[in-house]
């Protein structure tokens, strides 16, 4: 099967493209970044540099493919999305044009990577949060900027399905992490940032662990292998509504730090930056719907995933390669 992955030079896109190639598919990988800035380039894939926020480029990208995974977006961790709301909302051009081009080209199935940031803020005000069900996205009160773009693009994909019979599928990603992704430069997410900070301490390059907020805010984190498997099953399945794709293993940020410290064999002095971006107070994934449809749920433990992530980031830092700031892909 010929499959397009947009955002293929980024974190999740790179892992997804590699898995599809390994499964024997003909993969077209597209990203806005120069090829030398992609996190993974797979020799067996057709790798193209292109800005699919432009309709003509999106049309070229989808030409001749059967399935589309649209993972391209201008995004990052909380530090980025809270300070770049306009840039995050401009991703609606990518979401719109790839969807439009895929429908025009007669693509059989289209996958859209949404986010847990679509969920209503009033349901995420406590650390001891009730896990979020898919229905909790409405009445709408998503993360400003990034969350609104994702929620709008979900609705657009839904209406393409309802109005045109186009097979669209949507996953709400919950905090994906793993190796071969952003870990520095301002766009990294909490697990990668924590691994970087503690690796620098382990290497004698830093002596204080800065934690944003008081460390008692809660999240669940999904390892990228679970994300790739779930994305494939969602695209190929019959369930058409948005569905959570995330781990249900809830931890505080302080507990996240504890795990990475234990992996690294260090105990760091902690410094809490209370005025830093923190996002919602608590967020967790309710996997009841996902499990009922697909018969499993993301189960790679946080400890197991962090061991692999920390080892990769430690090695990158040891090589001195920690100033990359990849743009424009998940």
Does the annotation mark 146 as catalytic? Answer: yes
Selecting among 39, 110, 112, 146, the annotated active-site residue is: 146
Instruction: Answer yes or no: are the C-beta atoms of 84 and 42 closer than 8 Å.
Output: no
Which residues are part of the catalytic machinery?
146
């Amino acid at each position: 099967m010929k499959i397009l992955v947009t955002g293929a030079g980024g974190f999740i896109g790179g892992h997804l493209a590699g898995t599809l190639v390994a499964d024997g598919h003909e993969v077209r990988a597209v990203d806005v970044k120069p090829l030398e800035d992609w996190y993974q380039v797979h020799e067996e894939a057709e790798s193209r540099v292109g800005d699919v926020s432009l309709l003509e480029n999106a049309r070229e990208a989808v030409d001749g493919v059967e399935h589309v995974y649209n993972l391209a977006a201008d995004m990052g961790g909380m530090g980025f999305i809270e300070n770049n709301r306009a840039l995050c909302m401009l991703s609606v051009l990518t979401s719109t044009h790839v969807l439009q081009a895929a429908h025009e080209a007669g693509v059989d199935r289209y996958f859209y990577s949404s986010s847990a940031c679509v969920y209503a803020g009033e349901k995420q005000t406590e650390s001891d949060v009730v896990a979020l069900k898919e229905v909790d996205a409405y009445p709408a009160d998503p993360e400003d900027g990034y969350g609104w773009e994702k929620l709008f693009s979900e609705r657009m994909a839904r209406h393409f399905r309802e109005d045109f019979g186009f097979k669209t599928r949507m996953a709400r990603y919950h905090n994906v992490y793993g190796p071969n992704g952003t870990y520095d430069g301002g766009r990294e997410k909490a697990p990668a940032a924590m691994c970087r900070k503690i690796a620098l301490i382990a290497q004698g390059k830093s002596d204080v662990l800065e934690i944003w907020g008081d460390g008692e805010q809660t999240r669940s984190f999904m390892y990228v292998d679970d994300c790739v498997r779930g994305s494939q099953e969602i695209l190929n399945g019959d369930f058409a509504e948005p569905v959570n794709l995330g781990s249900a293993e809830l931890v505080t940020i302080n507990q996240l730090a504890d795990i990475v410290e234990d992996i690294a064999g260090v105990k760091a002095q902690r410094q809490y930056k209370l005025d830093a971006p923190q996002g919602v107070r608590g967020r967790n994934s309710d996997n009841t719907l996902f499990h009922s449809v697909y018969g499993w749920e993301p189960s790679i433990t946080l400890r197991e995933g962090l061991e692999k992530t920390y080892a990769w980031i430690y090695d990158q830092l040891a090589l001195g390669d920690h100033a990359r700031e990849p743009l424009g892909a998940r």
